[in-house]
Amino acid sequence: MAVESPQGWLAAADQDIADGIGLMQRSFASRDGAALAAAAVAKFDEAFREGTAAIG
């Protein structure tokens, strides 16, 4: 899913969150669910770091 935002950092964070949700959804039906969930958490962490860096 593509996410658009007028602010670069917000678009990047939005995309990371959308990607993380997609990974979580895939993890429910996967044999490798733990790895997908860990990848999703990494995406959520990245979004948090981008927002924190932009806001200060």
In tens digits, what is the pLDDT along the chain, a chain of 56 residues?
666 666 888 888 999 999 999 999 999 999 999 999 999 999 999 999 998 988 87
In a domain, 2, yes or no: no
Give CA–CA dist 29/4, Å, rounded. Answer: 28
pLDDT for residue 11: 87
In a domain, 16, yes or no: yes
pLDDT for residue 5: 66
> How many domains does one find in the chain?
1
In a domain, 24, yes or no: yes
In a domain, 13, yes or no: yes
In a domain, 48, yes or no: yes
Long-range contacts: 39-43, Cβ < 8 Å, 24+?
Answer: 43/16, 43/17, 43/19
In a domain, 3, yes or no: no
B/e letters for 15-33, b = 16+ CB within 10 Å, e = fewer, are bbbebbeebbeebeeeeee
In a domain, 25, yes or no: yes
What domain range is 13 assigned to?
Answer: 8-55
